[in-house]
Chain A
Amino acid sequence: MSQSNQWQTICQTSDLIPHSGIAAWTERGPVAIFWRPGCEPELSAIGHFDPIARADVLARGIVGDVDGEPVVASPLYKQHFSLRTGECLEEEARVPVFPVRTEGNQVQLSLRDSASESASAA
């Protein structure tokens, strides 16, 4: 697959909420997109489905960092999921991670799970 056709526009930058998340529907199911202006990384996208609580809720969690790792805390049972790797810090669980970028005022996603690819490559 070529680099150019893998990015899909999901929404506008004005739909993003600073230091918080929104949920979007994609062909890979619901995705949570977080915007943290001034933090590293500024934009992140992970699965919206919380595999522990088994509900579509992760976009509604609080974001922040734990020991330097950027995370979202599940709003249901408060486990932390890394925004970089999708790994849960407390339990054996992982959510997919998707490359995300802005092009002008558009927010774009690539729907391959970057964490599992780099994991299988390694």
Chain B
Amino acid sequence: MAQKQLIVIGNGMVGHHFLEQFMATPAASDWQVTVFGEEPHLAYDRVHLSEYFNGSSHADLAMATRADYDQWGLDFHPGEPVTRIGRDGQRVVTDQGAYDYDALVLATGSYPFVPPIDGHDQDHCLVYRTLEDLDAIRASAQGARTGVVVGGGLLGLEAANALKSLGLESHVVEFAPRLMPVQLDADGGALLKRKIEALGVQVHTEKATTAIVPGDEARLRMNFSDESHLDTDLIVFSAGIRPQDKLARDCGLGIGERGGIVIDDTCTTSDPTIFAIGECALWNQTIYGLVAPGYTMARTVAGRLNQDEDAAFTGADMSTKLKLLGVDVGSIGDAHAATPGARNIRFNDEQGGTYGRLVISEDGKTLLGAILVGDNGPYDTLLQYALNEIELPDHPEALILPESEGGAPALGPDALPDTAGICSCHNVTKGDVCGAIDAGCEDLAAVKTETKASTGCGGCVGLLKNVVESELEKRGVEVNRDLCEHFPHTRQELFHLVRVNGIRTFHTLINQYGRGDGCDICKPAVASILASCWNEHIMATDHVPLQDTNDTFMANMQKNGTYSIVPRVPGGEITPEKLIVLGEVAKEYDLYTKITGGQRVDLFGATLSQLPEIWEKLIDAGFETGHAYGKSMRTVKSCVGNTWCRYGVQDSTNMAIRLEERYKGLRSPHKLKFAVSGCTRECAEAQSKDIGVIATEAGWNLYVCGNGGMRPRHADLFATDLDDEQLIRTIDRLLIFYIRTADRLQRTSVWMENLEGGLDYLKEVVLEDSLGIGDELEEHMQGIVDTYQCEWKAAVEDPEKRKRFREFVNDDRKDPVQHWTTERGQRRPADETEVA
């Protein structure tokens, strides 16, 4: 039998999901499938589009590859939009040709709505939907200072965050009286606005833009109906979406009054040979702007084409949970209490910054809807109550009250019925998860691969993890969090074993608690634990073989096998005499010299055998090692503070030096960076550090768990107006708690985000001493401070240790593969073409 022709128009998330589902059915072999996409790429993850600004590439976001599509036998045409559908001849037309179909699936999605304001179509007026849109925003942000997002809904706030991450001063302009009008009520919206403004995004509600004209202080000016205006360098419109229904409209398919291709429960349009799915489809007067309902539609059509008479789309849950600019927002079901007789319970903690609202049925038995702002902790539990109509407890208010006031009766995974939906994107129930586990899945990753749960919008990850872990535990399976093949323990457990048993060498630890010889994962991790516990010299015979080369030779290996040298310059303060010594040493050894990003000087290009000689000279001049090579405290960046600066309110340089002197040499799971600023102008960038200190009139504000690097994160305000001693005590406790409980190579930010209870829990432990270990943590730190020694000093004084710094054990020659050239007056490694 000749194959029938199936054409899919649109290769977005839903179009791709349809292909994935359909190609797995037996019916697929009866059809030749042809796919047209307007975008130049195959389908990618639009839901996580914003990650494109945080370092994800197109490849990271891609959902489909050419290889997959080839393997499925698809004929695919990215970058070839369909321009017309000829229903009479059953064929679609593109600029490249015409193609016949027996069945047609429309998955054309939607496009951003740009209000027809005067001047909306000039340069630097942009939208936020495709990878190309994001490239355009990035280009426009070059040389820009401010950016405005028009629209304060979910996407608008995400766009505002993106502008902020591009370094722009960002604003949100919303027509309605509150943010996220669809999901939130007045109190929730007001709290969200306060929180977002505290993060530096300015929110302007009840503003209608009348025109966009050239600006005075920036590229553009937005004029508002209330006569006010706002100057900005770029504008991103995020004022809602409109279904992409042009093709359907032109060929006379049934279209809703306000757009959208009308479909029935089988996702069939007014033409029985044409289906529509995703954001272009209108079901029961509703356009679903979320990916999960689109996926259900995709499954419905795949099922129908496979003769499954039960496959149907019968509406979808629009509940959402998100973190917008770091603020939790959740909205479930009938959030606005539209159901007749519905009753409300509200908890509005203006002090603590959380808002919760429950919408309850007239008989008080079931949860109809909910709103959460500031804390999504109860979200998963509430959603399960609502979706599965589980009978509410006697005091439902406890579900949204902080734990101390009654103990929120979290709905454990055990309490969920088998029919409870876990992942709405892929329609996975708790029963499916249990089935996967019974069929042999032994961890979260396997369950994800088997059921696809959590591979869509990602909103269900937490719940899925809980269910999987609880089910595995029930079946007596241990969850594998081992450090590596040599130790059946986590880093935390090893830390505990080392400390409690007083273990001082790797050898003892692996003999008692591990197997094999060890490897480059467990050895440095254990070396770090030993150093954090006992602080012995890292070049002691037992410890040397455990370290990465940088730690072994106390210098950073460069790409040609030479090393760089970074002496400590506490707080960035250095005398002219010391600067001269650095210059002289660099000159003598022909070292490339550069000011680092950490307020000190790096000398590059020393050979192994030169290291001890150079350090002798530096130590004589009063320098100490800067630990640039270690997973340890690096630098405390400082600003000049009130000794010189007209705005300074405390002596920030002095405090920076004090902190650097105290914590220098501290070994930790990952590197630690500090900074101290003398006032809120924040010239030392303390809010981008693991430990950031900002002077106030009354003392110091402490910020924690920030970092730059690959995934920049602003530090969180931890405590305010501390005096010097309180500041140090707090940092002592926090750092040792980090060192004791973090995973290997986990920076403070990731550690904190993964701590159950997060920042609040950390505050309880450190500030309120809820575990009663405050004194112990401080003593531990004091022990490390008291045993500090400059590793380089100890090394150059010990002939045995110096022996290690020979290029070749039997020959004094220079390493023959190191070649050099000169650039801008300094020596640097030559690359291969330059050598030839």
Contacts and interface: CB of A to CB of B under 8 A. Distances in A.
B121 to A, nearest CB: 49
Contact of B549 (A25, A57, A64, A70): A57
Interface string A15-33: 1011110111100011001
Do most interface residues of chain A lie in helix, strand or loop, or is the interface mixed?
Answer: strand
A76 B809 contact: no
Task: Name the residue in A18, A63, A64, A67 with the highest tally of chain B Cβ atoms < 10 Å from its Cβ.
Answer: A64
B517 A55 contact: no
A83 B485 CA distance: 19
B789 interface: no
Interface string A59-73: 011111111101101
Contact of A15 (B517, B550, B560, B803): B803
Contact of A55 (B519, B550, B561): B561
B459 interface: no
Contacts of A78: 520
A63 B544 CA distance: 11
B598 interface: no
A86 to B, nearest CB: 18
A55 B560 CA distance: 5
Contact of A60 (B519, B557, B817, B818): B557
Given A24-B809, A56-B561, A73 B519 contact: yes
A61 B815 CA distance: 17
Given A15-B803, A23-B809, A55-B561, A60 B552 contact: yes
Contacts of B810: 10-11, 24-25
Contact of B516 (A18, A23, A68): A68
A56 B806 CA distance: 13
Contacts, number: 97
B87 interface: no
A36 interface: yes
B517 A65 contact: yes
Nearest to B527: A62
Nearest to B803: A15
A88 B541 CA distance: 28
Contact of B520 (A25, A62, A70): A62
Size bin of chain B's contact surface: 35 or more
Contacts of B486: 64
Nearest to B562: A55
B778 to A, nearest CB: 34
A64 B518 contact: yes
Interface string B791-820: 000000000000110111111010111100
Given A18-B545, A25-B813, A55-B559, A61 B520 contact: yes
Contacts of B807: 23
Given A17-B545, A62-B523, A65-B517, A24 B815 contact: no
B546 A62 contact: yes
Interface string A86-109: 000000000000000000000000
6 shortest interchain CB distances as A-B pairs: A19-B545, A25-B811, A64-B519, A75-B549, A73-B520, A55-B561
30 contacts: A17-B541, A17-B804, A18-B545, A19-B545, A20-B552, A22-B806, A23-B808, A23-B809, A25-B811, A25-B813, A30-B808, A33-B809, A36-B517, A53-B559, A55-B560, A55-B561, A55-B817, A60-B549, A60-B552, A60-B557, A61-B520, A64-B516, A64-B518, A64-B520, A64-B523, A65-B517, A73-B519, A75-B550, A76-B557, A80-B520
Interface of A: 10-11, 15, 17-20, 22-25, 29-30, 33, 36, 39, 49, 53-57, 60-68, 70-71, 73, 75-76, 78, 80
Interface of B: 485-486, 516-520, 522-524, 541, 544-550, 552-553, 557, 559-561, 803-804, 806-811, 813, 815-818, 832
Given A54-B832, A64-B517, 16 more contacts: A11-B809, A15-B803, A20-B552, A23-B809, A24-B808, A54-B817, A55-B561, A55-B817, A56-B818, A60-B552, A61-B549, A62-B545, A62-B546, A62-B548, A64-B516, A64-B519
